[in-house]
Structure 1
Amino acid sequence: MVFLVFQSRRYTGMRGGAPRSLSDIRTSLAQPVPWLLGAAMGAYTLQFYAVLMWLPTYLLQTRSTGATASSLLTALFVLVNAFGNVAGGWFMNRNIALGRMIGASFALTSVMFLGVFSDHLPDAARLACMLAYGFVTGNIPPSVFAGGLRYARSPSEAGSIQGLILHVSNVGIFSGPPLIAAAVTRGGGWSAALWVILGAAAIGLTIAFAISRLEKSGSR
């Protein structure tokens, strides 16, 4: 939110004008990039909320951490993710390519989660991988919303694009926890959750590649 407030200054002094017609909204939403940004945010929310629902139960049942410790570790994970949000805003204010930022974040989350599920690492290292995952994945939302502002040609168009991103992100919020539950149930163990996380990351990487191609071609 802080990032969006600072970015809003790019529109300072611009007149909002009359309310946009439905045809104007359709024109702005006909661009491919807003839909790709929405899909990237959907992949992020699918991954993040799946992990958020999975983590406390996983700690209780497999690491015997106890209810209090599991809750505190989950809260720490969310806090680290918030710091990742701030870092993502900092990076995007330095005009890093949008597709590169989103792609790198999804790629690193895959590596971190492979560490989380590695039986060759001690619990402390696996926890460090989980917290690193929380920080890295936190870079994705500010990158996506920055993209919405970059590709908007007016304040009203920015509103349409950001609204689209938020609505598509709800798909990930809704589907992530059930997918984790189904994977664990059908896979016979918690390790099956890894495939949901990696699947979401693969979707995100594909989207990031498409955004990078559009950025290089100058398309919207």
Structure 2
Amino acid sequence: MSESTRSVSVTHWLAVSAALLCGVAIAANVGKVSIMITALRDAFGLSLVEAGWLSSAINVLAVSVAVVFGLSADRIGGLRLCLAGIGFGIAGGVGSVLATSFPLLLAARVVEGAAYIAVAVSAPILLSAASRPADRRFVLGVWAAYMPAGIGLVMIAAPMLQGVGGWQAIWWFAIALLAAGGASVWWQRRHYHFAEAPAADDGALAVAREVMRQPLAWVLGLLFATWSVQHFTLIVWLPTFLRDQRGLEIGWVALLSCVMVLVNVPGNVIGGALLRRNVARGRLLVLGSGLSGVCMYAAFSPTLSDGLRYLACLGVSFIGGLIPSSILSASTVIARTSRQIGTFQGLNMQISNLGQLLGPPLLAALVATRGSWEGAVALPVGAAVAGVVLGIVAWRLERAYHSVP
């Protein structure tokens, strides 16, 4: 990114932290619905179908328009779009609290979805702007932990907050996080050097098309989708397994599930640190996909003890952290200028959300067809195998680039 590296000689870590806080806040905003879906069904009298729409609304939106948001970030500037996303998130959260019917609740969730996409595609621009070239791969690798960190945070806070003020208290908690993230970014705005909107020109779409023409961008997006299938299979399966097949109390189910989500965070940080040490991105992608597939097979194996199966779940989440950190930091290679970062992030997000959208229904179909959770292991393990193949392809494609991260 030749344009983006001229102005930053030192990493502004407070500015980096502010952008990371926006990511954690928007992830908590995303994760709160799945955690509180039972309470929402009781409060609004939702059917299973309505609950499903509420849970999947953000994924549907991301699959449909994430690239458009990425183009907008490149056009109007990362800082403006990030702050707009925070504002939409707060508005959607307040709208949810005030909603009196399912249509109003769903409309508020769509607004929150737009907020999520806006922050997810724009925050990496701010992070790149605030960090010097030598730190950029590490910073973007750490950014990949925003989703498990935010979801884990709301999982930890939910039991206490729900006891104090019901599901609405969790919404207000998420709103407070968003407000803190927005205020922090605004306070650090002077450090987001190239995050402001560039002067308008007729070549904006041509700049974006340059990203879309790169095979590596598409391969990485598809690889992210394979990881999404694995991770969300685990998120769906583990609580059900612990509650229905092992009879654990809801408190233990929540704790063990929360730990599983949170161990993905250090995996992402380690991935960023390895990239900073110039470990090949393709090597990390192949290693992460391969080992996560082995651990996933072990997690679903009925011949292993419950303790080993749970450790395998932790292994999937931890080692899988190498995958998002390697992919989301690839803008240092694919984005030739600062104006292409948002397009890459949007394209990546749109493709990867296919895994989140299609994974759960495919898993349910396999369970229904084969009669057991163990029979559905072909889906996540198959996704891991596909990830290994795509990782090898990405490794070879990246060697053709002049700047090797």
TM-score (norm: length of structure 2)? 0.50
Maintained 8 Å contact 2:216/2:398: no
CA distance in 1, matches of 2:307, 2:328: 34
AA aligned to 1:126 is R
**What is the match of residue 240 of structure 2?**
57
Instruction: Report SS of the residue matched to 1:189.
Output: coil
AA aligned to 1:71 is A
CA distance in 2, matches of 1:21, 1:218: 23
**What is the match of residue 347 of structure 2?**
164
Instruction: Report SS of the residue matched to 2:313.
Output: helix
Q: 2:296 aligns with which of 113, 121, 133?
A: 113
1:76 aligns with 2:259: yes
**What is the match of residue 199 of structure 2?**
18
Instruction: Using the TM superposition, name which of 84-93 and 5-14 deviates more.
Output: 5-14
Q: 2:333 aligns with which of 150, 155, 158?
A: 150
CA distance in 2, matches of 1:7, 1:24: 18
Maintained 8 Å contact 1:54/1:180: no
Number of matched pairs: 220
1:200 aligns with 2:383: yes
TM-aligned CA distance change 1:172 to 1:158, over 3 Å: same
**What is the match of residue 99 of structure 1?**
282
Instruction: Using the TM superposition, name which of 21-30 and 199-208 deviates more.
Output: 21-30
CA distance in 2, matches of 1:103, 1:63: 33
TM-aligned CA distance change 1:65 to 1:219, over 3 Å: farther
The Cα shift of 1:175 comes to: 0.8
Maintained 8 Å contact 2:267/2:320: yes
1:177 aligns with 2:177: no
**What is the match of residue 214 of structure 1?**
397
**What is the match of residue 35 of structure 1?**
218
Q: Once superposed, what is the RMSD of the aligned Cα atoms? A: 2.4
1:190 aligns with 2:385: no
TM-aligned CA distance change 1:92 to 1:6, over 3 Å: farther
Maintained 8 Å contact 2:234/2:313: no
Instruction: Show CA shifts across 1:64-108 (max 9, x none).
Output: 223221121111101111221222221222221111111110000
AA aligned to 1:146 is S
Maintained 8 Å contact 1:46/1:200: yes
Q: Indicate the percent of aligned positions where both proteins have the same amino acid.
A: 32
CA distance in 2, matches of 1:172, 1:118: 23
Q: 1:130 aligns with which of 291, 313, 318?
A: 313
Maintained 8 Å contact 2:242/2:253: yes
Q: Which runs of 5+ in 2 are unaligned?
A: 1-18, 21-122, 137-191
TM-score (norm: length of structure 1)? 0.90
Q: Which has the higher contact order (CA 8 A, sep 6+)?
A: 1
Q: Which runs of 5+ in 1 are unaligned?
A: none
